[in-house]
Structure 1
């Protein structure tokens, strides 16, 4: 395997690892959504992730402080989109939106990436990519409707669904903007400064929620849940995801995100005793076929 193919393979592995860790985030967040308020959960998540990363990245950050100052506006924008907004909007939406609606809208993120990349950056969409997207979308819709596509006809959208859509747009733009990360800024430095800025911009919302905050006694389970979100779904997942964007680009990495329902379903089966049927298996097959077709290197322009 030559160096180029090895880097591409690593990019897919990083994207897959990030997606797996994010799927665990959905399981954990569901358990504690009535225990911790949305802004509080986001604040605790990113504050802890920052504290954990700080000893490993503070020295590189200090050395690159001039670069940080020079690109402060850019770093602030990606911090707000990827750290402050994305998961906060998901946590808010989970209180008013159905699980089916959340699933359908959350998978629009890779499609939004492709649309924005095409509209703004004139990125070509080949026949393979277009066909693959349709197959993946069919597989995901089959999965979340359990084979009864007629369920989609009866969906009614509420304010929670709009929050999820905003979250998907926020993360899509964040992923695209990663291509403009200053090359002289190491990934660990970039990660720390976005965590710091994202937490800083969350603080006013966290304080604003003080009067209505749900206060519960900490338990071992709740503590482990928040630590998982902080370490795995925040720190590690974002490092893996940003690295995959760097190696693959936003569009190809975004396609791997379509596998999220597979891992979420598997974790739900293990931890929540949910049944996996033939519909799930057929959906998984469609999703992987679609991802394979989408990422075939065939220069056909649509």
Structure 2
């Protein structure tokens, strides 16, 4: 197998892994909405990720610090967007909007990646990619609405939808920033720096929320979920996603994000006993077909 093909397959594999882990994060986060305030949930999540990651990354961070220091401004902006704000906005949105609205707005993220890449970096939007995006969006909407147009027409938008839209835009910007990671900084060092700086930026908001709603929200009911979002949906998923961005580029990796409703549906079937029917199979075929079509890049087109 050619080295380039092998690298691309590995890139798609880690992108799928990150998306699968984030699918579990959405299910867990929705279940914790009534148990932990949004900023506290985000803070506990990233605190867990930093504490678990530190023993493995701190030595490399110390060695790489001379390479990190000249790019501290870039690191700060990337950490604030991708760590401090992105998931916190999702948790805030979950308090005032529905799961359907969250899912529908979340799938706009790859579209924003394509649009921003086109405007800022002149990335070519091929006809196949445009058609692929339309096919994927059709499949996702069909899956979320269970094939019933009335569900889509009955949607009402509230303040939480704006938070979710902002989150989608921020994640698109974050993914594009990751593609331009400074050379010479190892991925572990890069990721640990983002986690740590994002946590520091989140601390004042956590203190503010604690003053308004004091309480220790970690207990036997919430701790397993916090550990999941901290270790798997944060540490593992972001390491995988950043590797995918570096290997595939933000647009290609972004298309894999559309498989999230498929993973969410599978998890709901396995753990919540939700039914899987014909509409799910049709939606899955549309989503996967659209992803394959959108990721077919003609020779000479820059990714």
- Shorter-normalised TM range: over 0.9
Q: 1:248 to 1:101 in 2, by over 3 A?
A: same
Matches within 5 A, 1:1-302: 1-213=1-213, 215=215, 218-298=218-298
- Once the 2 structures are TM-superposed, how far is the Cα of residue 215 of structure 1 from its aligned partner? 3.1
Shift of 1:214: 6.0
* Runs of 5+ consecutive residues of structure 2 not aligned to the other structure: none
Task: Give the superposition deviation at 1:217.
Answer: 6.4
**TM-score using structure 2 length:** 0.96
1:267–1:214 distance in 2 versus 1, CA, 3 Å:
farther
Distance 2:282 2:118 in 1: 30
TM-score, normalised relative to structure 1? 0.97
Aligned equivalents of 1:46, 1:278: Cα separation in 2: 39
Distance 1:254 1:82 in 2: 15
The separation in 2 between residues aligned to 1:298 and 1:214, in whole angstroms, is: 56
Is the contact between residue 113 and residue 172 of structure 1 (CA under 8 Å) also seen in structure 2?
A: yes
Offset, 1:213: 2.6
Aligned to 1:266, the other structure's residue is in SS state helix
Contact 1:36 1:214 in 2 (8 A): no
Question: In structure 2, how many angstroms separate the alpha carbons of the residues matched to 1:30 and 1:214?
Answer: 21
Q: Helix, strand or coil: the match of 1:209?
A: helix
In the TM superposition, residue 276 of structure 1 has moved relative to its aligned partner by: 1.4
User: What is the rounded CA distance, in whole Å, between the counterparts of 1:230 and 1:88 in structure 2?
Assistant: 13
Q: Distance in 1 between matches of 2:263 and 2:182?
A: 33
Q: In the TM superposition, what is the alpha-carbon distance from 1:61 to its structure 2 partner?
A: 0.8
Give ranges in structure 1 of 5+ residues lacking alignment.
Answer: none
**More displaced, 229-238 or 149-158?**
149-158
Bigger Cα displacement from structure 2, 234-243 vs 100-109: 100-109
Q: Distance in 2 between matches of 1:216 and 1:40?
A: 9
Question: Cα deviation per residue 1:89-147 (whole Å; 9 max; x = unaligned)?
Answer: 00000010111111110000000000101111110011111110010000001001110
Aligned length: 301
Distance 1:42-1:218 versus aligned 2 partners, 3 A rule: closer
Q: Is the contact made by 1:136 and 1:290 (CA closer than 8 Å) also made in structure 2?
A: yes
Structure 1 contact 141–149 (Cα < 8 Å) conserved: no
1:93 and 1:116 map into 2 onto residues whose CA distance is 23
- 1:15·1:244 contact (CA, 8 Å) conserved in 2? yes
What CA RMSD, in Å, does the superposition of the two structures yield over aligned residues? Answer: 1.4
In 2, Cα distance between the equivalents of 1:218 and 1:39?
Answer: 13
- Partners of 2:239 and 2:168 in 1: how far apart? 19
Looking at structure 2, the residues matched to 144 and 262 of structure 1 have their Cα atoms a distance apart, in angstroms, of 10
Please report how far the alpha carbon of residue 299 of structure 1 lies from its aligned counterpart in structure 2 after TM superposition: 5.1
